[in-house]
Amino acid sequence: MTTTIRGSDNFDSGTPVTAALQKELKSGRKNLIINGDFQVTQRGAYTSATTLTSTSVYYLDRFKSKCDGVTGTLTHKVDQTVNGKITDTVLLSSTSTATGRLETLQMIEDLQQFKGQVTTFSAWVKSNNGNARVIMHTDGSNVQTSSNSHTGGGAWELLKGTVTNATNITNMNLYCGIQAAGTGNIAGVASGDYFEIAFLQTELGSTATDFEHRSYGEELALCQRYYQQYGGNDPYEHLPFLVMGNGTNANFSIALHPEMRAAPTLSANNWHVQAPYGGAIHSIGSWVSSNTSKQVVRGEAQSISGSISNGVGRVLAYGTLLSRFKLDAEL
Protein backbone atom coordinates (compact mmCIF):
# COMPACT_ATOMS: atom_id res chain seq x y z
CA MET A 1 0.00 0.00 0.00
CA THR A 2 1.27 3.49 -0.77
CA THR A 3 0.24 6.96 0.29
CA THR A 4 0.88 10.29 -1.39
CA ILE A 5 2.60 13.43 -0.16
CA ARG A 6 0.86 16.66 -1.13
CA GLY A 7 2.65 19.97 -0.98
CA SER A 8 5.81 18.55 0.63
CA ASP A 9 9.01 20.60 0.59
CA ASN A 10 10.96 17.51 -0.47
CA PHE A 11 8.73 15.90 -3.06
CA ASP A 12 6.66 17.00 -6.00
CA SER A 13 2.93 17.02 -5.41
CA GLY A 14 1.49 13.58 -6.03
CA THR A 15 4.68 11.59 -5.38
CA PRO A 16 3.78 8.05 -4.24
CA VAL A 17 5.40 7.13 -0.92
CA THR A 18 5.85 3.57 0.29
CA ALA A 19 5.66 2.62 3.97
CA ALA A 20 9.44 2.21 4.02
CA LEU A 21 9.95 5.68 2.60
CA GLN A 22 7.50 7.16 5.10
CA LYS A 23 9.63 5.67 7.87
CA GLU A 24 12.77 7.19 6.31
CA LEU A 25 11.15 10.61 6.08
CA LYS A 26 10.37 10.50 9.78
CA SER A 27 13.85 9.33 10.80
CA GLY A 28 15.85 11.61 8.47
CA ARG A 29 18.83 10.84 6.29
CA LYS A 30 21.31 8.44 7.88
CA ASN A 31 24.47 8.64 5.72
CA LEU A 32 26.62 11.56 6.84
CA ILE A 33 29.10 11.08 3.98
CA ILE A 34 28.43 13.31 0.97
CA ASN A 35 28.82 11.79 -2.51
CA GLY A 36 29.52 8.36 -1.04
CA ASP A 37 28.64 6.66 -4.33
CA PHE A 38 30.81 9.10 -6.32
CA GLN A 39 28.07 10.45 -8.59
CA VAL A 40 29.18 14.09 -8.53
CA THR A 41 32.38 15.26 -10.21
CA GLN A 42 32.09 18.98 -10.95
CA ARG A 43 35.82 19.53 -11.41
CA GLY A 44 36.34 17.04 -14.25
CA ALA A 45 35.64 13.55 -15.60
CA TYR A 46 38.76 11.64 -14.40
CA THR A 47 37.53 8.51 -16.18
CA SER A 48 41.08 8.08 -17.48
CA ALA A 49 43.87 7.55 -14.96
CA THR A 50 44.88 10.89 -13.45
CA THR A 51 48.28 11.30 -11.79
CA LEU A 52 48.14 11.80 -8.02
CA THR A 53 50.43 14.22 -6.21
CA SER A 54 51.93 14.16 -2.71
CA THR A 55 49.58 17.02 -1.78
CA SER A 56 45.90 16.25 -1.26
CA VAL A 57 43.79 17.46 -4.20
CA TYR A 58 40.01 17.51 -4.62
CA TYR A 59 39.08 15.46 -7.69
CA LEU A 60 35.58 14.07 -7.19
CA ASP A 61 33.41 16.27 -5.02
CA ARG A 62 34.06 16.20 -1.28
CA PHE A 63 36.98 13.75 -1.64
CA LYS A 64 40.62 14.77 -1.75
CA SER A 65 43.26 12.21 -2.68
CA LYS A 66 47.03 11.85 -2.70
CA CYS A 67 49.97 9.44 -2.75
CA ASP A 68 52.88 9.54 -0.32
CA GLY A 69 56.21 7.79 -0.81
CA VAL A 70 54.94 6.08 -3.97
CA THR A 71 53.56 7.39 -7.24
CA GLY A 72 50.00 6.65 -8.22
CA THR A 73 46.86 7.43 -10.22
CA LEU A 74 43.16 8.01 -9.59
CA THR A 75 40.38 6.79 -11.90
CA HIS A 76 36.64 7.44 -11.66
CA LYS A 77 34.94 4.25 -12.85
CA VAL A 78 31.27 4.44 -13.85
CA ASP A 79 28.55 1.77 -13.92
CA GLN A 80 30.43 -0.87 -11.94
CA THR A 81 28.66 -3.85 -10.35
CA VAL A 82 29.27 -3.99 -6.59
CA ASN A 83 27.35 -6.31 -4.27
CA GLY A 84 24.79 -6.86 -7.03
CA LYS A 85 24.17 -3.13 -7.62
CA ILE A 86 25.32 -0.69 -10.30
CA THR A 87 27.33 2.25 -8.96
CA ASP A 88 30.31 4.50 -9.64
CA THR A 89 33.60 3.80 -7.88
CA VAL A 90 37.01 5.41 -7.31
CA LEU A 91 40.20 3.45 -8.05
CA LEU A 92 43.62 4.38 -6.62
CA SER A 93 46.59 2.53 -8.17
CA SER A 94 50.28 2.53 -7.31
CA THR A 95 52.72 3.05 -10.19
CA SER A 96 55.93 2.45 -8.20
CA THR A 97 57.32 0.19 -5.47
CA ALA A 98 58.33 1.78 -2.16
CA THR A 99 57.30 2.48 1.41
CA GLY A 100 54.28 4.73 1.18
CA ARG A 101 50.50 4.95 0.92
CA LEU A 102 47.56 5.81 -1.34
CA GLU A 103 44.57 7.55 0.22
CA THR A 104 41.35 9.41 -0.39
CA LEU A 105 39.78 11.43 2.39
CA GLN A 106 36.53 13.16 3.31
CA MET A 107 36.46 15.79 6.05
CA ILE A 108 33.08 15.73 7.81
CA GLU A 109 31.64 19.11 8.78
CA ASP A 110 28.57 18.55 10.96
CA LEU A 111 30.11 17.29 14.21
CA GLN A 112 27.48 18.20 16.80
CA GLN A 113 25.45 15.04 16.32
CA PHE A 114 28.56 12.83 16.60
CA LYS A 115 29.85 14.11 19.95
CA GLY A 116 29.75 11.35 22.55
CA GLN A 117 27.95 9.04 20.12
CA VAL A 118 28.68 5.58 18.77
CA THR A 119 29.40 5.87 15.04
CA THR A 120 29.84 3.20 12.38
CA PHE A 121 31.65 3.63 9.06
CA SER A 122 31.62 1.18 6.18
CA ALA A 123 32.48 0.73 2.51
CA TRP A 124 32.76 -1.93 -0.14
CA VAL A 125 36.42 -2.28 -1.14
CA LYS A 126 38.31 -4.27 -3.78
CA SER A 127 42.10 -4.60 -3.47
CA ASN A 128 45.10 -6.85 -4.05
CA ASN A 129 46.86 -5.49 -0.93
CA GLY A 130 46.11 -6.72 2.59
CA ASN A 131 46.67 -3.22 3.99
CA ALA A 132 43.62 -1.75 2.24
CA ARG A 133 41.34 -0.29 4.91
CA VAL A 134 39.00 2.53 5.98
CA ILE A 135 40.00 4.66 8.99
CA MET A 136 38.10 7.20 11.09
CA HIS A 137 40.31 9.87 12.63
CA THR A 138 38.82 12.21 15.25
CA ASP A 139 40.73 15.13 16.72
CA GLY A 140 39.95 16.32 20.22
CA SER A 141 40.13 12.72 21.32
CA ASN A 142 42.90 12.16 18.72
CA VAL A 143 41.77 8.61 17.96
CA GLN A 144 42.36 6.60 14.78
CA THR A 145 39.95 3.69 14.42
CA SER A 146 40.55 1.23 11.58
CA SER A 147 38.10 -1.05 9.87
CA ASN A 148 38.96 -4.66 9.30
CA SER A 149 41.62 -4.82 6.60
CA HIS A 150 40.99 -6.29 3.16
CA THR A 151 42.22 -9.84 2.53
CA GLY A 152 44.05 -8.64 -0.56
CA GLY A 153 42.33 -11.30 -2.65
CA GLY A 154 41.05 -8.94 -5.36
CA ALA A 155 37.32 -9.38 -4.65
CA TRP A 156 34.78 -6.89 -3.30
CA GLU A 157 34.64 -7.07 0.52
CA LEU A 158 32.66 -5.08 3.08
CA LEU A 159 35.01 -3.19 5.43
CA LYS A 160 33.57 -1.56 8.52
CA GLY A 161 34.46 -0.15 11.92
CA THR A 162 32.80 1.37 14.97
CA VAL A 163 34.02 4.16 17.25
CA THR A 164 32.63 5.87 20.35
CA ASN A 165 33.40 9.54 19.87
CA ALA A 166 34.62 11.81 22.64
CA THR A 167 32.45 14.79 23.54
CA ASN A 168 35.26 17.21 22.61
CA ILE A 169 35.93 16.17 19.01
CA THR A 170 36.92 19.10 16.80
CA ASN A 171 37.03 17.31 13.46
CA MET A 172 36.32 13.94 11.84
CA ASN A 173 38.26 12.68 8.84
CA LEU A 174 37.40 9.45 7.04
CA TYR A 175 40.44 7.97 5.26
CA CYS A 176 40.27 5.20 2.66
CA GLY A 177 43.22 3.55 0.97
CA ILE A 178 46.30 1.36 1.24
CA GLN A 179 47.85 2.56 4.50
CA ALA A 180 48.71 1.69 8.09
CA ALA A 181 45.95 1.37 10.67
CA GLY A 182 47.04 4.75 12.05
CA THR A 183 46.87 6.38 8.58
CA GLY A 184 50.67 6.25 8.05
CA ASN A 185 52.89 4.74 5.35
CA ILE A 186 53.51 1.01 5.06
CA ALA A 187 56.47 -0.94 3.69
CA GLY A 188 56.25 -2.88 0.47
CA VAL A 189 53.59 -1.07 -1.55
CA ALA A 190 54.21 -2.51 -5.03
CA SER A 191 53.62 -1.11 -8.48
CA GLY A 192 50.20 -2.40 -9.55
CA ASP A 193 48.73 -2.46 -6.04
CA TYR A 194 45.26 -0.92 -6.07
CA PHE A 195 42.35 0.13 -3.88
CA GLU A 196 38.85 0.52 -5.32
CA ILE A 197 36.00 1.83 -3.18
CA ALA A 198 32.20 2.00 -3.41
CA PHE A 199 29.21 2.80 -1.17
CA LEU A 200 31.06 4.75 1.52
CA GLN A 201 28.86 5.45 4.54
CA THR A 202 29.09 6.91 8.06
CA GLU A 203 26.10 6.65 10.38
CA LEU A 204 25.13 6.83 14.02
CA GLY A 205 24.85 3.52 15.88
CA SER A 206 26.87 0.32 16.11
CA THR A 207 25.54 -1.44 12.98
CA ALA A 208 26.63 -0.96 9.37
CA THR A 209 23.37 -0.84 7.42
CA ASP A 210 22.78 -0.96 3.66
CA PHE A 211 24.04 2.06 1.75
CA GLU A 212 21.58 4.94 1.56
CA HIS A 213 21.20 6.08 -2.06
CA ARG A 214 20.36 9.71 -2.72
CA SER A 215 19.37 11.12 -6.10
CA TYR A 216 21.94 12.97 -8.19
CA GLY A 217 20.07 16.23 -7.59
CA GLU A 218 20.24 15.82 -3.81
CA GLU A 219 23.91 14.86 -3.90
CA LEU A 220 24.82 17.76 -6.20
CA ALA A 221 23.09 20.29 -3.92
CA LEU A 222 25.00 18.93 -0.92
CA CYS A 223 28.29 19.18 -2.83
CA GLN A 224 27.57 22.72 -3.99
CA ARG A 225 27.58 23.90 -0.40
CA TYR A 226 31.37 23.39 -0.64
CA TYR A 227 32.17 23.95 -4.32
CA GLN A 228 30.44 25.48 -7.34
CA GLN A 229 31.76 25.73 -10.88
CA TYR A 230 30.64 27.21 -14.19
CA GLY A 231 32.15 26.52 -17.58
CA GLY A 232 33.34 23.61 -19.68
CA ASN A 233 29.87 22.65 -20.90
CA ASP A 234 29.58 24.65 -24.12
CA PRO A 235 32.14 26.67 -26.14
CA TYR A 236 29.79 29.68 -26.05
CA GLU A 237 28.51 29.25 -22.51
CA HIS A 238 27.48 32.40 -20.61
CA LEU A 239 28.05 33.08 -16.93
CA PRO A 240 24.79 33.71 -15.03
CA PHE A 241 25.43 37.40 -14.42
CA LEU A 242 26.19 40.65 -16.24
CA VAL A 243 29.10 43.04 -15.70
CA MET A 244 28.85 46.82 -15.52
CA GLY A 245 31.92 48.51 -16.93
CA ASN A 246 33.80 51.75 -16.69
CA GLY A 247 36.97 51.56 -18.75
CA THR A 248 38.84 48.25 -18.64
CA ASN A 249 37.38 47.06 -15.32
CA ALA A 250 33.81 45.87 -14.72
CA ASN A 251 31.83 45.09 -11.57
CA PHE A 252 29.89 41.85 -11.12
CA SER A 253 27.62 40.21 -8.54
CA ILE A 254 26.31 36.64 -8.42
CA ALA A 255 23.83 35.16 -5.94
CA LEU A 256 24.83 31.71 -4.70
CA HIS A 257 22.33 28.87 -4.91
CA PRO A 258 22.60 26.91 -2.72
CA GLU A 259 24.18 29.03 0.00
CA MET A 260 27.77 27.90 0.53
CA ARG A 261 29.43 26.72 3.73
CA ALA A 262 31.52 29.89 4.01
CA ALA A 263 32.44 32.86 1.85
CA PRO A 264 34.16 31.12 -1.10
CA THR A 265 37.45 31.89 -2.78
CA LEU A 266 37.19 32.72 -6.48
CA SER A 267 39.37 31.60 -9.37
CA ALA A 268 38.45 32.11 -13.03
CA ASN A 269 40.11 31.99 -16.44
CA ASN A 270 39.51 32.15 -20.19
CA TRP A 271 36.37 34.31 -20.08
CA HIS A 272 35.43 37.19 -22.37
CA VAL A 273 33.02 40.09 -22.11
CA GLN A 274 30.72 41.42 -24.86
CA ALA A 275 29.43 44.95 -24.35
CA PRO A 276 26.98 46.01 -25.52
CA TYR A 277 25.03 42.94 -26.66
CA GLY A 278 26.09 42.22 -30.24
CA GLY A 279 29.14 44.45 -29.84
CA ALA A 280 32.86 43.81 -29.63
CA ILE A 281 34.18 40.88 -27.57
CA HIS A 282 37.13 41.47 -25.23
CA SER A 283 39.21 39.08 -23.12
CA ILE A 284 39.25 39.41 -19.30
CA GLY A 285 42.70 39.50 -17.76
CA SER A 286 41.90 38.72 -14.12
CA TRP A 287 39.15 38.48 -11.52
CA VAL A 288 39.13 39.92 -8.01
CA SER A 289 36.39 39.17 -5.47
CA SER A 290 35.34 41.59 -2.71
CA ASN A 291 32.53 41.87 -0.17
CA THR A 292 31.89 38.15 -0.60
CA SER A 293 29.59 36.17 1.68
CA LYS A 294 28.00 32.73 1.83
CA GLN A 295 25.10 34.08 -0.22
CA VAL A 296 26.72 36.48 -2.72
CA VAL A 297 30.03 36.85 -4.57
CA ARG A 298 30.92 40.36 -5.73
CA GLY A 299 34.02 41.77 -7.36
CA GLU A 300 35.67 43.02 -10.52
CA ALA A 301 36.64 41.61 -13.88
CA GLN A 302 39.90 43.45 -14.51
CA SER A 303 42.35 44.21 -17.32
CA ILE A 304 39.71 43.83 -20.03
CA SER A 305 41.35 44.03 -23.44
CA GLY A 306 39.05 46.82 -24.68
CA SER A 307 37.07 49.61 -23.04
CA ILE A 308 33.44 48.99 -22.09
CA SER A 309 32.95 52.41 -20.48
CA ASN A 310 29.48 52.97 -19.06
CA GLY A 311 28.32 49.68 -20.56
CA VAL A 312 26.62 46.50 -19.44
CA GLY A 313 28.11 43.31 -20.82
CA ARG A 314 27.61 39.59 -20.79
CA VAL A 315 30.43 37.19 -19.92
CA LEU A 316 30.93 34.24 -22.28
CA ALA A 317 33.43 31.53 -23.11
CA TYR A 318 33.75 32.61 -26.75
CA GLY A 319 34.74 29.42 -28.51
CA THR A 320 36.57 27.44 -25.85
CA LEU A 321 35.77 24.66 -23.39
CA LEU A 322 38.64 25.79 -21.14
CA SER A 323 36.70 28.60 -19.43
CA ARG A 324 36.17 28.03 -15.71
CA PHE A 325 34.60 30.09 -12.91
CA LYS A 326 35.27 28.31 -9.59
CA LEU A 327 33.94 29.04 -6.12
CA ASP A 328 35.60 27.03 -3.35
CA ALA A 329 34.47 26.79 0.28
CA GLU A 330 35.88 23.34 1.08
CA LEU A 331 36.95 22.48 4.62
Whether residues 66 and 151 share a domain: the answer is yes
Whether residues 214 and 248 share a domain: the answer is no
Whether residues 249 and 218 share a domain: the answer is no
Q: Which residues of the chain have pLDDT under 70?
A: 1-28, 141
CB-based burial of residue 312 (10 Å sphere; 0-12 exposed, 13-18 middle, 19+ buried)?
A: middle
What confidence tens digit (pLDDT) does each residue in 73-129 have?
Answer: 999 999 999 999 999 999 999 999 999 999 999 999 989 989 999 999 999 999 999
Whether residues 294 and 175 share a domain: the answer is no
- Are 55 and 61 within 8 A, CB to CB? no
Whether residues 250 and 214 share a domain: the answer is no
Residue 67 belongs to what domain range? Answer: 29-223
For residue 4, what pLDDT is reported? 31
- 18 belongs to a structural domain: no
CATH number at residue 129: 2.60.120.260
Task: Provide the number of structural domains found in the chain.
Answer: 2
What is the spatial distance between Cα 127 and Cα 148, in angstroms, rounded to a whole number?
Answer: 13
Whether residues 183 and 55 share a domain: the answer is yes
What is the spatial distance between Cα 305 and Cα 321, in angstroms, rounded to a whole number?
Answer: 20
Whether residues 86 and 34 share a domain: the answer is yes
Q: Is the pTM of this model over 0.85?
A: yes
**176, 193, 223 — which closes off a domain?**
223
For residue 141, what pLDDT is reported? 65
